[in-house]
Amino acid sequence: MLPEAFTNRMKKMLGNEYEEFEKCFEDDKSRFQSLRINTLKKQNNADHGTSFNDKAGFDLKPVAWCENGYYYGAEDAPGKHPLHEAGVYYIQEASAMAPVTYLDVKPGDDVLDLCASPGGKSTQIASYLQGEGYLVANEINPQRAKILSLNIERLGIKNALVTNEDSGKLAKVFNEYFDKILVDAPCSGEGMFRKTDVAVSEWSIENTYMCADRQAEILDNAASMLAPGGRLVYSTCTFAPVENEGTVSAFLSRHPEFDLIDVEKKDGMTGGARRFIEGELSVEINGEKVEPCEGLDRCIRLWPHKLQGEGHFLAVFGKKGDENLNRYSFVPGGGVKEAKGKNLAPWEEFAKDTLTKECIESLTKSGTLFMFGEQLYLAPKEMASTNGLKVLRPGLHLGSMKKDRFEPSHALALYLNSDMALRTYDLPSDGNDVKAYLNGQTFRCDGEKGWYLITCDGYSIGWAKYAGGAMKNHYPKGLRINY
């Protein structure tokens, strides 16, 4: 049952289209499930495309607006497949893939995902960065930030700083710093009505206005963190005009240094509309009536009755001015303190015995080794000091210093490709051995003493240590699965 106030507003917005819109809430055949392939995961040193599907056997069909996005069939269960634990793909709603596509991330960019949990868009950004540049993935809610951090780990991302901060705190650190910023704002969630009853039960007209007030504050902080010449994408999963065209118009009235960028719309996408916030549909934000800005048709609306996805909205902003090249000569707040000398001996011994020379050189060149307590991390070269920030994951976690020995992290295993390790052991995804491994079981086999990178169909999935004719399982206890 859709709320009456919601349906009344949607009828005014859609007119003759409303019946078709309402029907899609009743028709299960109009609902689609999708996943996005993680291009950071490679098999035998090659981009895998959809080759993983040779064994997974999903019924995949491409998502028009995301080159690595695919719909999967109703009978498929990708969340229960071992390759999900290997980070080969991320289960993500198709419409939610659109904002990052329009963020236009390039390798080497410094990018902020300001409202990042659970991590779908952050991991999508990372796939475009391809290990180059720097991603700050932030989430203000502590529990949701932990989920974000785990997904950053699962998809093998090395160049991300995961923070748990208010947007205002970050704005004090990263003044005009980022090339690209994504604000996938907290919203009233009307676009999720088909997927969850909670979104319906928690909805109210009053809440859409509360969300718009909060979105204004977040956008203002994001604006101060974007470098001149940079791009900002604002997105929501709601139909509410006050949170979409209203928020965009109010933002541009406060920030004349920004323009709406005209971007190509894919089939089924429509533009924003002035009429959604005019006349009887007029809106207020922070107590002030919003006047429609010019160019609202440059925004993008994704309607569930027009395309294969849920409700979504996005706007692409550009910040006027020439790119400030001086910002590359400093790191906000100073850099991290590099770990050197004898403290690194256990790591160096492990790396020499376990990783290829090419892998070690690549890690050394791509970042800065530093200690976070007893934990060794590889920080992106551009990464700011973590002092004063609530940090969950400061770069790639390499492992723990245990007195005179080094124990590798699960994050390092998931980052590695099979050709980066000196010893690997592959477990086919369609067999029982990989399920036993994910359950934490030790298994007997032939081998040589030392650490092994365990792979599944060639994709890294975790560590094991061989001794005495058996492979001791080091899959994290908190992640183990009972199949």
- Determine the Cα–Cα distance for residues 137 and 164; give it in Å rounded to an integer: 9
First to last CA, the chain: 36
The SS3 assignment for 431 reads: coil
Residue 478 is given by DSSP the state G
Classify 219 as helix, strand or coil.
Answer: helix
In Å, what is the CA distance from 410 to each residue of 155, 166, 439, 463, 473? 11, 29, 15, 7, 12
**C-beta neighbour count of 185 within 10 angstroms:** 23
Q: What secondary structure does DSSP assign to 353-397, as a single string?
A: HHB-HHHHHHHHHHEEEEEETTEEEEEETTPPP-TTS-EEEESEE
Question: Please, which residues have CB within 8 angstroms of residue 483's CB and are 6 or more apart in sequence?
Answer: 80, 435, 438, 439
Beta strands in 261-390, from DSSP E residues, in sequence order = 270-271, 284-285, 288-289, 300-302, 312-319, 367-372, 375-380
Evaluate the omega torsion of the peptide bond into residue 82 and state whether it is cis, within 30 degrees of 0. Answer: no
Alpha-carbon distance of 344 to 351, in angstroms, equals 10
To the query of whether residue 299 is one of the catalytic residues in this protein, the response is no
Report which of 312, 342, 273 is spatially closest to residue 120, judged by C-alpha positions: 312
What single string gives the DSSP state of each residue in 36-81?
Answer: EE-TT-EETTEE-TTTTHHHH----EE-TT-TTEEEE-TT--GGGS
Name the active-site residue from 237, 299, 359, 456: 237
Residues designated as active site:
237
